[in-house]
Amino acid sequence: MMKLEMQTDVKSDVLSLDRYEETLRKAIRLGYDFPTVSELKNGVDLNRRFLLMRHDIDTSPRHALQMARLESSLGVRSSYFVQLHSPLYNPAAPPHWDALKEIISLGFEVGLHYDTEFYQSRNMDPLQGVLADAGALEAILGNPIASVSQHRPASSVLLKELNLHYVDAYNNELMTKVAYISDSGFKWRGQSLMEMLGAEERIHALIHPTSWTFGDLDMEGTYRAVKLQAASELSAEIESIIDSTNLYLRKREQLDQARRIQYRE
């Protein structure tokens, strides 16, 4: 039987923060507005030129913070969506919480990035799962949640029900009345966002911050860099735990020894 080999020669597009800045500056020159997802809850204004920037945080809020700082310096507004069940980051952990709080302080919208498969594989109702997670994220960040974004396609029934509570980035208006583009897989489908600007009046762009953080690396190189970064940070945390535990044990032994001497006296 012939063995099928995985294709590995698909090259990533050139994605970097420098390139992202060039793209944003072009959008500004062309007069695009930059609404947040929740600001379009009443539908799309067909007489308005806008670029809806949506960022799904799949890897690290600290990469998202780099992008948010750049956007803030240019006066650009966008929406960032956070996973609550990611194996790669915990939004309540100090470094990630700090990054998300700074993104909020810069004036950006932060919402929930949910995955219906997480709920379905655990026999949970997806709608109730999203509502509970949105409430939990709101409590963690101490900031109101007004919008959500799905990680994998959700049913139209769920989206209709969910939009009674939050504005979903994949609702019908934002996907049918607006030109949609995504950098998923580190590769544009057809035109890039830079090329689309000026050709389309209303654009909904999904941009993943990590994809643009390591500008000199392709997809595989970027994820390997993320892996090394995460491993280094985890190693440092474990070493810190070892050091603090050793310190605790030494202090406890000194205290126990002092008590033994006291009892003998």
Q: What does the pLDDT look like over 112-128, one tens digit per residue?
A: 999 999 999 999 999 99
| pLDDT computed for residue 129 by the predictor | 94
| pLDDT computed for residue 9 by the predictor | 58
Kindly report the average pLDDT of the chain as a whole number.
91
Looking at the domain that runs over 17-216, which CATH code has it been given?
3.20.20.370
Q: Where are the domains of the chain?
A: 17-216, 218-265
Residue type, 138: E
pLDDT at 7 over 70: no
CA proximity to 33, closest of 54, 48, 23: 48
Q: Tokens 């500056």 appear where?
A: 25
Please check whether residue 13 is in contact with residue 192, taking contact to mean a CB–CB distance below 8 angstroms.
yes
Residue type, 80: Y
| pLDDT computed for residue 3 by the predictor | 45
Task: Write out pLDDT tens, residues 161-214.
Answer: 888 899 999 888 888 899 999 999 999 988 999 999 999 999 999 999 999 999
pLDDT at 101 over 70: yes
Q: What is the DSSP string of the chain?
A: -PPPPPP--PPPP---HHHHHHHHHHHHHTT-B---SGGGTT---TT--EEEEEEEESS-HHHHHHHHHHHHHHT---EEEE-SS-SS--TTSHHHHHHHHHHHHTT-EEEEEE-HHHHHTTT--HHHHHHHHHHHHHHHHTS---EEEESS---HHHHHHHTTTSEETTSHHHHHSSEEEE-GGG--SSS-HHHHBTTBSEEEEE--HHHHHSTT--HHHHHHHHHHHHHHHHHHHHHHHHHHHHHHHHHHHHHHHHHHHHHH-
pLDDT at 5 over 60: no
Tokens representing 222 are 């970027």
Percent of the chain whose pLDDT exceeds 70 = 95
Task: Write out pLDDT tens, residues 145-163.
Answer: 999 999 876 677 888 888 8
Q: Looking at the whole model, is its pTM more than 0.85?
A: yes
Please check whether residue 149 is in contact with residue 167, taking contact to mean a CB–CB distance below 8 angstroms.
no
- The Cα 94–Cα 90 span in angstroms is 9
- Could you give the angle at which helices 126-141 and 94-105 cross, rounded to 10 degrees? 80
Beta-bridged to residue 130, according to DSSP, are none
